[in-house]
């Protein structure tokens, strides 16, 4: 693809808006509480570009760039999940932090999941790190209806004024006809399925929790003066906007459909509970990972296995990664901004977080957690003539702010660990063609597509990852570079989970076709330095910014820089990576410049590990294209 890029002085646009379920609006949010030296999250830099495989920069300011290979697209939106974010347990008034956490992988009749129990344990560990004194964990068969109702009753008996309560769910979501006419716009209520749920048995068909029942308990906790955080990493929609390539194997989704045949459930909710929406709560803020028309898959994360992206991001946030300004406090804005960015980027833009405040919710600057010294972020898991590549943006630099109250998050390991090999399979299950490939990083040939990070089709020479075609015409001798690319992108996504740089693909994250225009939007860069580069599907790296006379630092008044690009061949997937910091990163710039036009993505990880500033924020988004 060739990209033509130009700068424009457009006004900033807000991100993140929620429509209310019934009449009226939930409201919208913009993260405030920026990283020290950052522009507020409302400020943004926007990039648009014309795409093709080589980038040529003209002195007039327009540019032509290399193609971004992309294929399959799947939309993201908001989840059946609701996350009530109260005022903090760390407020002046004090209070205890408590948690009720549920994770279900193994179901009686529904497809098993792989990461819900791990999500529950991860969030539980993070809550203990911030001093939660009362954590109840219900896993798999422990999470039956009677046990959950009893756990809520016990929690209500213990909770006190100014306590902070986190309720977290990970498992299958579904929908069934509403029990109170008019409570849902489409007549269907979201439900969370429990381990023994069986729609063909009236008694076992009652093994579920209704959305209205969670409303009931959140309201009861608020009535006792508690601040509630409710996370539901379960999905109940069914539409896909970016269809997955069937050669990529089955993606595992946290949603099921069933035909209701009746049940014996005696709901604890009332009609008033069923009619509640986020604005009707006293202090709640609702965060969703996918809307009722969408679904999201479990994703594989090196070192963490299969996980739900929302739960993973929430756990990292409460482990300290979302403390963007290093003041030792996690604010509402920091949590929402962090979870939205990390979920969006880890899922290759399949999920997008949106939020809605209750009418009496805390302001975005209010804290919801306090980190003591020693809290660590746990990483899990990369001339004006332009070489082949595929995208471009603009830079930013910020003067260093005052020293943070808390020590900055540690850097990730300097290279992909030998314990985290890239797993590759062939479409026909043969492992012999994958022997002795000798990439720079570790890899493992596997027979089953379901166990693979990459799938190579020897017949078409396509390479797939997560249901997307990332590269075409890849011969066996080119596979080591593609493996190195996968390892590099995994590493950069892990780095982004420590300190994400907000990026968006516009107008949407679907599969984009020839001649379509696409834009990239990078926010929160005013006064910061920016390095932007692309790793194409074949492993070719292209420096996008800064180049030539480009200013290495974005001015404080520079809110938005658009680059426009149109889709052209070759097609596949391009990973667009941004690295911003408070000061110019001249050594990293030069290291990436030396890699411009080369097919050596592993070296980008080494350069980042060696030269990136400790406060660097990283963003990774993918552009998928097809004829």
3-class DSSP assignment, residue 529: strand
pLDDT of residue 455: 93
Q: What count of residues does the chain have? A: 627
At 343, phi and psi to the nearest 5? -60, -45
- Residues with Cβ within 8 Å of residue 33, at least 6 apart in sequence: 324, 325, 331, 332, 333, 334, 337, 364, 365
User: What sign does the CA torsion over 308, 314, 315, 321 have?
Assistant: positive
Per-residue confidence (pLDDT) for residue 66, from 0 to 100: 34
* Two tokens, residue 259: 């035909």
Q: How many CA atoms lie within 13 A of 198 on its CB side?
A: 8
Output the CA–CA distances (angstroms, integers) from residue 207 to 118, 120, 203, in the order listed. Answer: 22, 19, 8
Cβ distance 45 to 523 under 8 Å? yes
- Going along the chain from its start, the domains and CATH numbers come out as 40-73+384-402+489-626 (no CATH), 97-172+215-248+278-370 (3.40.50.1460)
Closest alpha carbon to 492 in 339, 625, 367, 616:
616
pLDDT, residue 291, reads 62
**Preceding peptide of 159 cis, ω within 30°:** no
Helices (H) and strands (E) counted in the chain, each on its own, are: 9, 32
SS3 390: coil
What is residue 475's predicted lDDT score, i.e. its pLDDT? Answer: 93
pLDDT computed for residue 247 by the predictor: 82
Take residue 600 and report the two structure tokens written for it. Answer: 């050596």
Alpha-carbon distances of 97 from 86, 133, 144, 233, 365, rounded to whole Å = 11, 6, 24, 21, 19
Give dist(CA 520, CA 380) in Å, integer: 27
C-beta of residue 371 within 8 angstroms of C-beta of residue 593: no
State which residues of the chain have pLDDT below 70.
1-94, 236-243, 249-250, 289, 291-295, 353-364, 372-419, 557-563
Distance, CA of 517 to CA of 501 (rounded, Å): 23
pTM metric for this prediction: 0.75
Residues 73, 76, 79, 84, CA torsion sign: positive
Task: Report which of 128, 129, 2, 105 is spatially closest to residue 53, judged by C-alpha positions.
Answer: 2
Q: Give the max Cα distance, the chain.
A: 73
Q: Which two tokens stand for residue 306?
A: 């299969």
Question: Which helix (DSSP H) or strand (DSSP E) does residue 154 occupy?
Answer: helix 145-158
Which of 317, 346, 245, 351 has its CA nearest to residue 621? 346
**What span, in angstroms and rounded, lies between the C-alpha atoms of 356 and 524?**
21
Q: For position 362, what pLDDT does the model report?
A: 54
DSSP 81-112: ------S-TTSTT---EEEEEEE----SSSPP
Cross-strand pairs, 545: 532
Please tell me what DSSP assigns to residue 527: T
Q: Which residues of 398-436 are buried (b: 16+ CB within 10 A; e: fewer)?
A: beeeeeeebeebebbbebbbeebbbbbbbbeeeeeebee
Distance CA 483, CA 240 (A): 28
**Rounded CA gap, 465 and 482, in Å?**
11
481 closest CA partner among 543, 435, 439, 537: 439
Q: What helix, strand, coil percent values describe the chain, rounded to 5?
A: 20, 25, 50
């Amino acid at each position: 693809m060739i990209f033509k890029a130009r700068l424009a002085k457009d006004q900033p646009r807000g991100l993140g808006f929620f429509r209310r379920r019934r009449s009226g609006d939930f409201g919208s949010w913009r993260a405030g509480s920026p990283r020290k030296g950052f522009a507020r999250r409302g400020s943004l830099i926007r990039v648009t570009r014309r795409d093709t495989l080589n980038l040529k920069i003209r002195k007039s300011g327009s540019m032509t760039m290399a193609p971004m290979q992309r294929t399959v697209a799947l939309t993201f939106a908001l989840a059946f999940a609701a996350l009530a974010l109260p005022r903090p347990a760390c407020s002046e008034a004090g209070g205890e932090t408590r948690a009720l956490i549920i994770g279900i992988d193994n179901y009686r009749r529904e497809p098993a999941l792989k990461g819900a129990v791990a999500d529950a344990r991860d969030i539980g560990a993070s809550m203990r790190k911030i001093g939660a004194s009362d954590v109840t964990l219900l896993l798999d068969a422990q999470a039956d209806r009677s046990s959950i109702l009893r756990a809520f009753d016990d929690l209500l008996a213990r909770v006190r004024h100014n306590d902070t309560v986190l309720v977290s769910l990970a498992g299958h979501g579904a929908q069934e006809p509403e029990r109170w006419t008019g409570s849902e716009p489409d007549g269907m209520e979201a439900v969370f399925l429990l381990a023994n749920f069986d729609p063909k048995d009236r008694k076992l068909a009652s093994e579920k929790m209704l959305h209205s029942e969670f409303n009931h308990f959140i309201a009861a906790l608020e009535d006792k003066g508690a601040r509630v955080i409710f996370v539901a990493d379960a999905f109940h929609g069914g539409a896909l906007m970016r269809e997955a390539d069937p050669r990529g194997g089955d993606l595992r989704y946290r949603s099921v459909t069933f035909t209701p045949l009746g049940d014996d459930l005696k709901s604890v909710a009332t009609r008033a509970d069923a009619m509640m929406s986020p604005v009707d709560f006293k202090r709640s803020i609702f965060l969703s990972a996918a809307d009722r028309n969408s679904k999201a898959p479990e994703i594989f994360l090196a070192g963490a296995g299969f996980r739900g992206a929302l739960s993973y991001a929430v756990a990292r946030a409460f482990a300290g990664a979302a403390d963007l300004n290093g003041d030792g406090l996690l604010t509402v804005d920091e949590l929402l901004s962090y979870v939205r960015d990390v979920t969006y980027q880890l899922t290759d833009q399949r999920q997008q977080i949106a939020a809605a405040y209750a009418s009496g919710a805390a302001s975005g600057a209010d804290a919801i957690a306090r980190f003591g010294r020693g809290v660590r972020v746990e990483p899990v898991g990369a001339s004006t003539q332009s070489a082949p590549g595929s995208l471009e943006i603009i830079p930013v630099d910020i003067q260093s702010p005052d020293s943070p109250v808390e020590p900055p998050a540690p850097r990730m390991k300097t290279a992909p660990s030998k314990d985290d090999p890239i797993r590759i399979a062939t479409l026909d299950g043969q492992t012999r063609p994958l022997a002795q490939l000798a990439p720079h990083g570790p890899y493992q040939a596997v027979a089953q597509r379901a166990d693979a990070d990459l799938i190579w089709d020897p017949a078409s020479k396509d390479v797939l990852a997560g249901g997307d075609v990332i590269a075409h015409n890849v011969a066996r001798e080119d596979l080591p570079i593609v493996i190195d690319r996968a390892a590099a992108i995994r590493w950069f996504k892990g780095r982004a989970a420590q300190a994400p740089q907000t990026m968006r693909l516009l107008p949407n994250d679907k599969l984009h076709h020839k001649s379509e225009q696409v834009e990239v939007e990078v926010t929160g860069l005013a006064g910061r330095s920016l390095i932007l580069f692309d790793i194409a599907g074949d492993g070719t790296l292209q420096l996008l910014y800064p180049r030539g006379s480009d200013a290495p630092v974005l001015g404080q008044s520079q809110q938005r820089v658009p680059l426009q690009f149109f889709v052209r061949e070759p097609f596949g997937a391009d990973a667009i990576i941004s690295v911003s910091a408070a000061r110019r990163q001249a050594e990293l710039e030069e290291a990436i410049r030396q890699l411009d036009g080369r097919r050596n993505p592993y070296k980008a990880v080494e350069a980042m590990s060696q030269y990136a500033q400790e406060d660097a924020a990283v963003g990774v988004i993918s552009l998928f294209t097809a004829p």
